[in-house]
Amino acid sequence: MTQPKVKDLLPIPELMEMRRVLCVQAHPDDGEIGAGATVAKLTRAGADVIYLTITDGGVGTEDVSITPAELARIRRGEGEEAAGLLGVNEMIWLDFPDGSCLELAPVRERIIKAIREVRPKAIMVMDPWLPYEAHSDHRITGLAAAEAAMLSAFPHVCPQHLAEGLETHPIEAVAFYGTSRPNTFIDVTETWPLKMEALSKHKSQFPGGSLEMIGAYLTAKAYEHAAGKGFEMAEAFKVLTPTHLHFFEDAWQC
């Protein structure tokens, strides 16, 4: 008897079929850097995309004359302008302090609450298992979002949300951007210029010629991701179901 393949038992969801997506980001520019062209493609196709930003971004500068509070205010404005260009419907700001001091449990609780409020089909977030990722805001945010996706349907997890009138909500897919193990490549040839324009709105993050440098890097990666696939430019994701995220030995190679 032929045994079914593990990957056939648990297929990878189609990201572009998700009509409501919660895009979780540690800082106000992460979503644009990792997935901006896909966000624009989703909203053009009629999907609702809601941003959930974990930190206030207040330490993202080498300029000591700007206070964290002032930078947080500037970055919120930049983030709203950039996300607006991509057609994002709504933005939720949690305002945890920026700067590698996030703790997992409170961030996870707030993401579970956002999932129960927003009720998305899928969430997007940076891959917390990216080798050599030194920024703990990125690791904690990605891990908290992955755990939240696994737990949001369980009523005894954060039961205070139910006491507040919210209901549990299952997630169908998690799309990790900034991943070294992609399994999904979205054709973003048409929306790439929009991503670059959105990135340019984060002026505080790209002093001097650094916007040109990161733009060139991301563009080169987009061509690499699309190579041999029949389109020009792609953003790459590791898309998994919540089932893949718990005791699933093959998830890393799905």
Residues that bind Zn ion (CB under 5 A): 26-27, 30
| Nearest CB to Zn ion, comparing residues 24 and 26 | 26
Q: Which residue is nearest to Zn ion (CB)?
A: 27
CB of 224 to Zn ion, least distance (A): 22
| Nearest CB to Zn ion, comparing residues 26 and 102 | 26
Beta strands in 56-183 (DSSP E): 90-96, 122-126, 173-177
| Nearest CB to Zn ion, comparing residues 53 and 168 | 53
| Nearest CB to Zn ion, comparing residues 37 and 251 | 37
CB of 61 to Zn ion, least distance (A): 13
Query: Do residues 235 and 182 touch, judged by C-beta distance below 8 A?
Result: no
CB of 74 to Zn ion, least distance (A): 15
Distance separating alpha carbons of residues 19 and 24, to the nearest angstrom: 16
CB of 24 to Zn ion, least distance (A): 12
CB of 138 to Zn ion, least distance (A): 6
| Nearest CB to Zn ion, comparing residues 206 and 248 | 206
Distance separating alpha carbons of residues 29 and 75, to the nearest angstrom: 8
Which letter, b or e, does each residue of 165-178 get, where b requires 16 or more Cβ atoms within 10 Å of its Cβ?
A: ebebbebebbbbbb
Q: DSSP assignment, residue 229?
A: T
Q: Is 68 exposed, middle or buried (0-12, 13-18, 19+ CB in 10 A)?
A: middle
Residue (of 87, 41, 32, 88) closest to 187 by Cα position: 41
CB of 168 to Zn ion, least distance (A): 29
| Nearest CB to Zn ion, comparing residues 166 and 196 | 196
Q: Is 216 exposed, middle or buried (0-12, 13-18, 19+ CB in 10 A)?
A: exposed
